[in-house]
Chains A and B, each alone.
Chain A
Amino acid sequence: QSVLTQPPSVSGAPGQRITISCTGSSSNLGAGYDVHWYQQLPGTAPKLLIYANNNRPSGVPDRLSGSKSGTSASLAITGLQAEDEADYYCQSYDTSLSGSVFGGGTKLTVL
Chain B
Amino acid sequence: EVQLVESGGGLVQPGGSLRLSCAASGFSFSTYWMHWVRQTPGKGLVWVSRINSDGSSTYYADSVKGRFTISRDNAKNTLYLRMNSLRAEDTAIYYCVREGSGWYSFDYWGQGTLVTVSS
Contacts and interface: CB of A to CB of B under 8 A. Distances in A.
Interface of A: 2, 33-34, 36, 38, 44-48, 51-52, 55, 57, 89, 91-93, 97-105
B45 A99 contact: no
Contacts of B37: 100
Given A36-B106, A57-B100, 16 more contacts: A33-B103, A36-B102, A36-B105, A38-B45, A38-B106, A46-B45, A46-B95, A48-B100, A51-B105, A52-B103, A92-B104, A93-B104, A99-B60, A100-B35, A103-B44, A105-B44
Contacts, number: 74
B11 interface: no
A104 B44 contact: yes
Contacts of A105: 44-45
Contact of B59 (A36, A89, A99): A99
B31 to A, nearest CB: 18
Contacts of B102: 34, 36, 51-52, 55
